[in-house]
Structure 1
Amino acid sequence: MPVLLRSHTLLALVLMSLPMLPALAAETPTPRQIEVQASASIDVAPDRATLNAVLTEATPLVEMGTERDGDTTIKAREQLEKRSTALIKALRKLGIDNDHLHAGNLSVRNEQQLQQHDQNAPLLERMVIERNLDIDISDLTTLPDVIDALFANGIDRLAGIRYDVKDRESVENQALRQALARARQKAELMAETLSVPLGDVTRIQETQSPVFRPMMMAAARSEQADSATYAPGTISVDAGVMVNWSLEASSTNTH
């Protein structure tokens, strides 16, 4: 009997040491809420542009593997520098200052070509020297004149025109506001349709940060250029949000 009593005493102590679990934990009510996702897209007219012009010079073609004349490379580089200087002077006459002109470093590459009508002939090769010039345009009314000046001064390629806006933050904020307004509109519509009073906002999340998609016009070569074709359209900015509202208890519900 003493042994049995001691066992009962130990069991009681063990049970008393266990943590007390909430008896009604499984019965905790789920918060009444409504979750809404919404997006917005706005179109704005660009007010600035960046052009990328390319100047190219090349040495004469020679059979691959033959010794090259170093003077031809020097002459090609000097001619490229001369053309670059003339182009920059022409752009300055249009009112484009140094802060809006960005001349890239020279790039040199080896270019190989097959001889026409004779596939068994040795390959031909030459050195090609290029310089890129980025031009920032803050007044789009001057864009046609700038493009005309580029090709009048013999650029070899217009690598592209990138349209943009000066105040990106303001445009992105506008898209986000419209997405939030759309979310509230949807929530109010659902609550009104279901006769449920809409409560406070409990959670806000961006499902898509404002995405700015500047327009990029296709590249053009000098023989294909036409400044009249470089008319800007609009730029789209998209934003998305998810918002949660609490739902108040209906006044007609007594339970």
Structure 2
Amino acid sequence: MPVSLRLPACLALIAMSLPVMPALAAESHVPPQIEVQAEASIDVRPDRATLNAVLVEATPLVEMGSERDDDATPQARKQLEKRSTALIDALRKLGIDDDHLHAGNLSVRNEQQLQQHDQNAPLLERVIIERNLDIDINDLTSLPDIIDALFANGIDRLAGIRYDVSDREGVEDRALQKALLRARHKAELMAETLSVTLGDVERIQETRAPVFRPMMMATARSEQADSATYTPGTISVDAGVLVNWALGASSFHTN
């Protein structure tokens, strides 16, 4: 057949007309690198604190399902408001202004209790009303006097003391800088030990943003003091980085 005889020749002509492509190069060479992960921690002394005080009022216990006194809850709330006002006035006299006092909303809940010595008796119930008061303190030397004032004015619970530092950004920067210096030290140590030369930094990654680790309140009571002496200790701030260095030209081995 004429067509079948000419087809292979056409294919050969097409193949001859295509440009000659050079052979694919071997996989591109990736310069050797040193990858270093480092973490660092710094300890700082707090210079401020926040106290959380709780005031509580409760209605009388009654048997569950029995008729309640309609005035009991409003009276308990009124008493709680009165105590809150007295406590805030006492704190103002200590020099704490309203910008550093944060009174939370009232919290109302029902509480049930078993009657003592008779588990088969009906449950008892009452209404619990609470109010939280946060107090910001910028002078830690005044902390013992403020705590004394809280208990002298009848708070029901000191929920906790949260210590902090006013210059958080500065402290975070110091922790991050320490982690970077630690990474560079590790890279230089590895390069010196392996007889290679560090080149430019290729990549920097923050693996752990600076974090303030919580600190528990430490207390000690002196036999000669009427109030506790509160020692804040230190706050630990952690940071972590990942850094890649290229190796210098002198580190490459040629065949």
| TM above 0.5 | yes
The runs of at least 4 aligned residues of structure 1 exceeding 3 Å deviation read: 11-22, 251-255
Query: 3-state DSSP class of the match of 1:25?
Result: coil
SS for the counterpart of 1:250 is helix
Cα offset, 1:90, TM superposition: 0.5
Change over 3 Å in CA distance of 1:62–1:246 after alignment to 2: same
> For 1:117-137, what per-residue CA distance to the aligned partner results, in whole angstroms no more than 9, with x for missing partners?
111111111111111100001
Instruction: Give 1:63's aligned residue.
Output: 63
What's the counterpart of residue 249 of structure 1? 249
1:194 aligns with 2:201: no
Deviation at 1:20, TM superposition (A): 4.9
Does the 8 Å CA contact 2:217/2:231 hold for their aligned counterparts? no
What is the deviation of 1:227? 4.9
Kindly indicate whether the alpha-carbon contact (under 8 Å) linking 2:144 and 2:229 is maintained by their aligned counterparts in 1: no
1:91 matched to 2:62? The reply is no
Distance 2:65 2:191 in 1: 80
Contact 1:199 1:248 in 2 (8 A): yes
Q: Does 2:141 match 1:141?
A: yes
Identity of matched residues, %: 75
The aligned amino acid for 1:135 is I
Deviation by residue 1:146-194 (Cα, 9 ceiling, x = unmatched): 1000000000000111011111111011000000001111111111122
Give the deviation of 1:254 after TM superposition: 7.0
Aligned position for 2:7:
6
Q: For residues 183 and 66 of structure 1, do their structure 2 counterparts lie closer, same or farther at Cα, with a shift above 3 Å needed?
A: same
Whole-angstrom distance in 2 between the partners of 1:42 and 1:216: 17
Q: Sort the Cα spacing of 1:214 and 1:227 in 2 relative to 1 into closer, same or farther, 3 A.
A: farther
> Does the 8 Å contact 1:196/1:247 carry over to 2?
yes
Q: Which runs of 5+ in 2 are unaligned?
A: 219-225
Q: Distance in 2 between matches of 1:114 and 1:15?
A: 100
Is the CA contact (8 Å cut-off) linking 1:50 and 1:135 kept in structure 2?
Answer: yes
| Separation of aligned partners in 2, 1:82 and 1:161 | 24
1:19, 1:35 → 2: CA distance?
Answer: 42
After superposition, residues 162-201 of structure 1 pair within 5 angstroms as: 162-201=162-201
Aligned runs of 1:2-81 on 2, under 5 Å? 3-10=4-11, 13=14, 20=21, 23-26=24-27, 28-81=28-81
TM-score after normalising by structure 2: 0.89
CA contact (8 A) 1:57 1:77 kept: yes
| Cα contact 1:196–1:249 (8 A) shared by 2 | no
Please, what is the CA RMSD of the aligned residues? 2.4
Give the structure 2 partner of residue 204 of structure 1: 204
Q: In the superposition, relative to structure 1, how do residues 68 and 9 fare at CA in structure 2: closer, same or farther (>3 Å)?
A: same
- Please, what TM-score do these two structures have when normalized by structure 1? 0.89
- Change in Cα spacing, 1:22 to 1:187, as seen in structure 2 (3 Å) is farther
1:108 shift after superposition: 0.9
